[in-house]
Structure 1
Amino acid sequence: MIYLVRHGETVFNAQGRQQGRLDSPLTAQGRAQAAAVGRLLARLVRKPADWRLVASPLGRAQATASIIGETLRLPVETDPRVIEISFGEWDGRLRDELALEYPKALASKAWRFAAPGGETYQAVHDRLADWMASLPPEPDRKVIVVSHGGSGRVLRGAFLGLSPEAIWDLETPQDAVFCLANGSIVRFDCQPAEG
């Protein structure tokens, strides 16, 4: 079983910026979301000591995982394979500005892979599939992973065998947990976070 979490809201999220491999700190709302996710996971995970907590190396995922880890009393492991998609030259850019400059590219659901110097879908898919393949098989797979909006979509898509086009219809909440187990995905929502 994998519990997939997206990091809490960041300053760049609130501004409508593409973060990609850049980083910005969690907002007060983001810290509250991470705490709410930690409380939810404490109810979902029966014996936290039997679980691993893995996070992307980016600061926003590490900060979110740290808050969750305090609640579950778990150390945070880092794995670069669950890092966010690199948007190349679009990292740090406002999405509204990109829509004006690149209207054709942003008209496609898969626009995230159209960025100059950015990562390809196949590269993201392959590194996330490699990460999943490195985990123990069910029922011994007990991992909580703190990742990102884009890479979290690709991870869920790889788990379900979705097409690249279909993954962009998946939601990317920052106040929910996705349980990936036995070929299906179930979403658990947190109580509203107060930031």
Structure 2
Amino acid sequence: MILLLRHGETHWNVERRIQGRRESALTPRGERQAAAMGRLVADLIRMEPPADWRLAASPLLRAQATAQAVAARAGLRIDTDERLAEICCGDWEGKLRSEVGAGGPEWFFGAPGGETFEEVMARVESFLADLPPEPRRRMVVVSHGVTGRLLRGAYAGLPRAETLAQDVPQDAVYRLAGGQVDRFDCEPID
């Protein structure tokens, strides 16, 4: 089982600025989202038979801050894994979405100097391949919007269009288990 979540809201999310590998701190709302996800993860872990759970997070600060809130609530130690980092958006990082004509999720893969769909998919598939097999797998994963979409798509064997059409909330936890993906929404924070 994998419990997968996206980092809480950042200042650049609010500004509609492209983050990619660049850093932007969590907003106060993002901090509340991270705390709510931490509570939900702790509850979901308690509902499972006792097991050794691990927490892996992207090295980017917004994911690390979210992972810290989850780790504190669930009593876990954070392992950092570069393969969980957000897509590199090359020359577009730091720019407003409106400046680059951002559209649907496919546009992320057109950034000059950025990563391709295949490169990000290779990272998440490598991460999944290195995990213990189900049903022994017990992982909490904190990642990002694009990377999380691709991780869920790789796990579920979805085609590219369905993978990219998935929602990327900052207030929910996805459970990947038994070949299916289930969404659990956090308590409202506003």
| TM-score interval, normalised by the smaller of the two chains | over 0.9
- Percentage identity across aligned positions? 52
Give the AA of the match of 1:70.
A
TM-score w.r.t. length of structure 2: 0.95
Check 1:48–1:12 CA distance in 2 against 1; reply closer, same or farther (3 A cut): farther
* Greater mean deviation of Cα atoms: 106-115 or 28-37: 106-115
Matched, 1:69 2:71: yes
Contact 2:51 2:138 in 1 (8 A): no
Q: Does 1:153 align with 2:153?
A: no
Aligned length: 188
| 1:69-112 Cα distance to aligned partner (Å, 9 max, x none) | 1111111110001110001111111111111xxxxxx4564111
- After superposition, what is the alpha-carbon deviation per residue over 1:22-51, rounded to whole angstroms, capped at 9, x for unaligned? 010000000000000011111100278720
Which letter maps to 1:187? Answer: R
Alpha-carbon distance in structure 1 between the residues aligned to 2:174 and 2:70: 15
Aligned partner of 1:40 in structure 2 is 40
Q: In 2 relative to 1, CA 157–115 (structure 1 residues): closer, same or farther, beyond 3 Å?
A: same
What amino acid maps onto 1:114 in structure 2?
A: G
Runs of 4+ in structure 1 off by over 6 angstroms are none
Structure 1 Cα separation of the partners of residues 184 and 104 of structure 2 = 29
1:132 to 128, 139, 143: 128
Contact 1:84 1:150 in 2 (8 A): yes
Correspondence for 1:93 among 95, 99, 111: 95
Where 1:110 maps in the other structure, the secondary structure is helix
Question: Where do 5+ consecutive residues of structure 2 fail to align?
Answer: none
Asked if 1:114 is matched to 2:99, the reply is no
1:50 aligns with 2:52: yes
| CA distance in structure 2 between the aligned counterparts of 1:147 and 1:190, rounded to whole angstroms | 17
> CA contact under 8 A between 1:54 and 1:79: conserved in structure 2?
yes
Gaps of 5+ in 1: 100-105
1:184 aligns with 2:180: yes
Q: Normalization by structure 1: what TM-score?
A: 0.93
SS across alignment from 1:179: strand
